[in-house]
Amino acid sequence: MKIAVVKETLQDEARVALIPALVAKLVAEGHEVAVESGAGDAAQFADEAYAEAGATITADGLRQADLTVSVQPLVTDQIWALQSGSATISFLPPAQSLERVSNLRDCGITAFSLELVPRISRAQSMDALSSQSLVAGYRCGIVAAGLLRRFLPLNMTAAGTVPPAEVVVLGAGVAGLQAIATTRRLGAVVKAYDVRAAAAEEIRSMGAQAITLELESLEGSGGYAREMTEDRADRQRELLAPFIAAADALITTAAVPGRTAPLLVTAAMVEQMKPGSVVVDLAAETGGNVEGSVPGKVVAIGGAKVWGAANVPSQMPQPASRLLAQNIVNLIALMTDGTALSPDFDDEIVAGCCVTHGGEVRHQPTQELLGSSAAKETSP
């Protein structure tokens, strides 16, 4: 099978879909790998390293590829350069990529979305959302420590005692737990809350205090929380307000792929925080957990600095690429028969993450969105 690794075109995307060590593994298995020149530069993987791993360095390997892998979804020109019947693997949020999905369908491309890999035990090694959330959670903890102009740990000296900083983390998924672990390792006193009752034990296992509110649990499917009513959201914000006001740093990580992030913290709540406090909103790109956060910027709300996340895994491109590349290689292995790509659509992992195949949109929610979009365009 001929596999192409493209250079990312999105500004500030520093990750790469395959790293040299895994290219060598694919070559050893009998695959041909073509890497677009400079694809790994931003992640500190030079062309020479790919060449030593057995890859061909090329200016454009798309037209000959059976499978094209990338971090971000391919742009229109790249899609139309692919040969019909070939396949792609990348992040591809279908609801936000309807034009791309239409192009992939019309070009006869089989497209697999890393966002849609089912959250089941057998798919854990292919779960790119989790691997990249691990990187993002760590980065959020480091950002909070860097912006906060005080010690995180307790310090006892002859000149006096400096108490530890207090950090509150909202959301205890992969990113939230990693943010807890990171700030705990740096010596902060950490408290955390998640709407799922089962998360309390995980929070405590990381050495943090689980915040308990007198509210119903919102356990959902796939490890995510159920959407809450506005009345419950208002009550939750009211009960969380004193914990947030007392915190030196607040990190919010609540997000559900394909949906707007829940508003957990209002601007008024941030204004009650102490002068010099820090807020890190990992969900800023999808609407924000914190009212007033701006993706890619630090803004002031009251006396607090609010850092809005923007493609956080790309801010640590080397480890993020290592983890992502392994996810992709594991997915390739699942869909490969010998050295040929042979996806089994009876497999729930393959079927679950397939967006287009054989000139059709296979992902039902996306198919419905495209149908409603087409109906609007043709209506008088």
pLDDT of residue 373: 55
- Could you give the number of structural domains in the chain? 2
Domain shared by 98 and 185, yes or no: no
Is 170 part of a structural domain of the chain?
A: yes
Give dist(CA 96, CA 287) in Å, integer: 14
The pTM is what?
0.92
Domain shared by 95 and 141, yes or no: no
Helix (H) / strand (E) containing 230: helix 230-246
Domain shared by 55 and 156, yes or no: no
- Residue from 317, 311, 284 nearest 298 by CA: 284
| Tokens coding 376 | 């609007």
Domain shared by 299 and 341, yes or no: no
Band of pLDDT at residue 292, cut at 50, 70 and 90: very high
Is 373 part of a structural domain of the chain?
A: no
User: Over 80: is that where the pLDDT of 375 sits?
Assistant: no
The DSSP code for 195 is S
Is 167 part of a structural domain of the chain?
A: yes
Digit-coded pLDDT (tens) for 192-226: 999 988 899 999 999 999 999 988 777 655 555 56
Domain shared by 177 and 66, yes or no: no
Is 88 part of a structural domain of the chain?
A: yes
Domain shared by 160 and 305, yes or no: yes
The residues carrying an active-site annotation are 119, 124, 127, 130, 224
pLDDT of residue 93: 92
Digit-coded pLDDT (tens) for 81-137: 999 999 999 999 988 899 999 999 999 999 999 999 999 999 999 999 999 999 999
Give dist(CA 85, CA 21) in Å, integer: 28
Domain shared by 277 and 148, yes or no: yes
Crossing angle, helix 128-147 and helix 317-334, to 10 degrees?
170
| Tokens coding 317 | 């491109």
CATH number for 35: 3.40.50.720
- Residue from 239, 328, 294 nearest 17 by CA: 328
Is 323 part of a structural domain of the chain?
A: no
Is 229 part of a structural domain of the chain?
A: yes
User: Over 70: is that where the pLDDT of 376 sits?
Assistant: no
Is 324 part of a structural domain of the chain?
A: no
Digit-coded pLDDT (tens) for 23-45: 999 999 999 999 999 999 999 99
Give dist(CA 334, CA 342) in Å, integer: 9
Domain shared by 286 and 152, yes or no: yes
Domain shared by 306 and 196, yes or no: yes
Domain shared by 180 and 301, yes or no: yes
Domain shared by 54 and 199, yes or no: no
Is 122 part of a structural domain of the chain?
A: no
Domain shared by 226 and 105, yes or no: no
Range of the domain at 161: 136-315
